[in-house]
């Protein structure tokens, strides 16, 4: 009898525990630990634009100390991949997106991405500071990088083999140069590819026979050549007035891409970048404000 009462009480307790367990609320799905918080903005992409993005971030954060803006490079291709994968708030790109990339985004998210022109850049042609050459035509630059001109004396320099340095093919600068300077020809296999503007600058600064290209903002310790559209045109250096007017033959827009219409802290940052305050000091770091420059083409 005693044992029967014991088992009866045990069964009741088990029943009560099961009932309580059913009423315990189940934990909801937690967001990914890397998901953006309301006081952080992630910017990824163009190596050329890292300096620009960091300058904007540092200046903006002075007035908004509660905000964290993280700027990462790796190349325009890296930033565009992050945009397509939904792992960045803003992509920096030194080239416009291809139609295939826009289509991929549209198919994945069922809406259009947002494109913003945020700055102008002059693409500089670098040589060693001791190189006596001061100018080249666009055609000469093309012939050099296509491998048909291999000696400096063939373009008015001192005799000696030309050693070529280029950005890697994940770079928007590489793609822009190939399309608008090489006119979609391939680079000669003799071209050494390097992963960033700083690496190209460093190589050319130490190589008396070297030539490279990249944003003029990075041109420290090298000579930047004036460029002629053709043999009959004046040689134009990549200075403010010539880049903004479109007179310099290798000028381009720099872009921000966003996955949605900006809101909240992202919108505030975008508005400031495009404001007079955000644009005015670009010259201090070697870039140029967009201003009224819609006539500047990227297909010079």
What is the DSSP annotation of the chain?
-HHHHHHHHHHHHHHHHHHHHHHSPPPPPPPPTTSPPTTEEEEEE-STTHHHHHHHHHHHHHH-TT-EEEEEEE-HHHHHHHHHHT--SEEEESSPPPHHHHHHHHHHHSS--EEEEEEEEEEEEEE-TT----EEEHHHHHHHHHTS--BGGGGTS-SSB-EEEEE-TT-HHHHHHHHHTSTTPPPPTTPEEESSHHHHHHHHHT-TTEEEEEEGGG--SSEEPEEESSTTSPPB---HHHHHHT-SSSEEEEEEEESSS--HHHHHHHHHHHSHHHHHGGGGGT-B--TT-TT--S--
Could you tell me if residue 292 is inside a domain?
Answer: no
Residues 96 and 45 in one domain: yes
Is the model more confident about 300 or about 160?
160
Give the model's pLDDT for residue 282: 86
Give the model's pLDDT for residue 17: 43
Residue 283 predicted with pLDDT over 90: no
Could you tell me if residue 234 is inside a domain?
Answer: yes
Residues 181 and 70 in one domain: no
pLDDT confidence band for 202 (50 / 70 / 90)? very high
Q: What is the pLDDT of residues 38-62, one digit of tens each?
A: 789 999 999 999 999 999 999 999 9
Could you tell me if residue 13 is inside a domain?
Answer: no
Q: What is the mean pLDDT of residues 142-151?
A: 98
**What CATH number corresponds to the domain at position 99?**
3.40.190.10
Residues 113 and 159 in one domain: no
Could you tell me if residue 238 is inside a domain?
Answer: yes
Residues 132 and 196 in one domain: yes
Give the model's pLDDT for residue 284: 81
Residues 259 and 111 in one domain: yes
Average pLDDT, the chain: 87
Residue 228 predicted with pLDDT over 80: yes
Could you tell me if residue 1 is inside a domain?
Answer: no
Residues 208 and 130 in one domain: yes
Is the model more confident about 234 or about 32?
234
Give the model's pLDDT for residue 217: 85
Number of domains in the chain: 2
Give the model's pLDDT for residue 294: 46
Give the model's pLDDT for residue 34: 36
Could you tell me if residue 192 is inside a domain?
Answer: yes
Residue 81 predicted with pLDDT over 50: yes
Residues 144 and 232 in one domain: yes
- pLDDT-above-70 percentage for the chain: 84
Give the model's pLDDT for residue 212: 98
Q: Report the range out of 13-17, 26-30, 173-177 with the highest average pLDDT.
A: 173-177
Residue 4 predicted with pLDDT over 50: no
Residues 47 and 101 in one domain: yes
Q: What is the pLDDT of residues 84-128, one digit of tens each?
A: 999 999 999 999 999 999 999 999 999 999 999 999 999 999 999
Residues 229 and 274 in one domain: no
Residues 116 and 130 in one domain: no
Could you tell me if residue 82 is inside a domain?
Answer: yes
Give the model's pLDDT for residue 105: 97
Structural domain harbouring 279: 41-120+254-285
């Amino acid at each position: 009898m005693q044992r029967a009462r014991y088992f009866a009480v045990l069964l009741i307790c088990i029943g009560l525990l099961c009932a309580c367990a059913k009423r315990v609320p189940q934990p909801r799905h937690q967001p990914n630990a890397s998901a953006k918080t309301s006081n952080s903005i992630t910017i990824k992409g163009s190596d050329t634009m890292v300096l620009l993005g960091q300058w904007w971030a540092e200046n903006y954060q002075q007035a908004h100390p509660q905000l964290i803006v993280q700027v990462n490079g790796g190349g325009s291709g890296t930033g565009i991949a992050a945009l397509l994968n939904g792992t960045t708030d803003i992509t920096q790109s030194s080239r416009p997106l291809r139609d295939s990339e826009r289509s991929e985004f549209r198919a994945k998210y069922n809406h259009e991405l947002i494109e913003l022109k945020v700055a102008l850049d002059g693409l500089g042609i670098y040589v060693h500071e001791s190189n006596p050459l001061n100018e080249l035509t666009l055609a000469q630059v093309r012939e050099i990088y296509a491998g048909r001109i291999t000696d400096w004396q063939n373009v008015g320099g001192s005799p000696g083999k030309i050693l070529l340095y280029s950005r890697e093919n994940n770079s928007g600068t590489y793609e822009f140069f190939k399309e608008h300077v090489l006119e979609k020809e391939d680079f000669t296999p003799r071209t050494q590819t390097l992963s960033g503007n700083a690496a190209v600058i460093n190589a050319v600064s130490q190589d008396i026979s070297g030539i490279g290209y990249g944003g003029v903002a990075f041109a420290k310790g090298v000579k930047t050549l004036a460029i002629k559209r053709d043999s009959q045109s004046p040689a134009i250096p990549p200075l403010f007035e010539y880049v903004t007017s479109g007179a310099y033959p290798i000028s381009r827009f720099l872009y921000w891409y966003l996955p949605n219409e900006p809101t909240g802290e992202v919108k505030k940052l975008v508005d400031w970048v495009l404001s007079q305050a955000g644009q005015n000091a670009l010259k201090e770091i070697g870039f140029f404000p967009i201003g009224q420059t819609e006539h500047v083409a990227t297909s010079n």
